[in-house]
Amino acid sequence: MKKNDLIYIGIGASAGGLEALQNLVNHIPTNTNFAYIVAQHLSPTYKSLLVELLSKDAPIKIKAAEDGETIEEDTMYICPPNKNIVVDEDKILLLETKEISYGPKPSVNLLF
């Protein structure tokens, strides 16, 4: 592995995982070659405030994942509600939940 190779860190959280995610973000290292992808179980009809809540004091960029975007270092990508998230090469792919009809959304199993 080269020094600058991007390393993807997948994180799964339950619907009640906000406090744990905030604790992680408060202790996250900076200036690394890490990118974080978060799949937290969310209600499909609830507007998530996770990005805003985690961004408040975060030392890295926290953003809602967008389909097809290129993954960057020192960034945490939050899967939007009612989607599944996977990584393909160096891109985020968001899958419609109707493609996977069972289990919580997003699926941490699918991410991993």
How far apart CA 109 and CA 30 sit, in angstroms, is 27
What does the pLDDT read at residue 103? 61
φ, ψ of residue 54 in degrees (nearest 5): -75, -30
How far apart CA 75 and CA 91 sit, in angstroms, is 13
Q: Which position has the higher pLDDT, 1 or 25?
A: 25
What CATH number did the domain enclosing 73 receive? 3.40.50.180
User: Could you report the per-residue pLDDT of 39-73, keeping only the tens digit for each?
Assistant: 988 777 777 889 999 998 899 999 999 999 999 99
What's the gap between Cα 111 and its chain centre? 9
Number of structural domains, the chain?
1
pLDDT over 70 at 102, yes or no: no
Is residue 1 in some structural domain?
no
Q: Scanning the structure block, which residue is given the tokens 């699926």?
A: 107
pLDDT bracket for residue 1 (50, 70, 90): very low
Is residue 22 in some structural domain?
yes
Residues 6 and 71 sit within 8 Å (Cβ to Cβ):
yes
Is residue 102 in some structural domain?
yes
Is residue 49 in some structural domain?
yes
Print the domain residue range for 86: 7-111
Is residue 2 in some structural domain?
no
Beta bridge pairs of residue 83: 96
Q: Which position has the higher pLDDT, 77 or 82?
A: 77
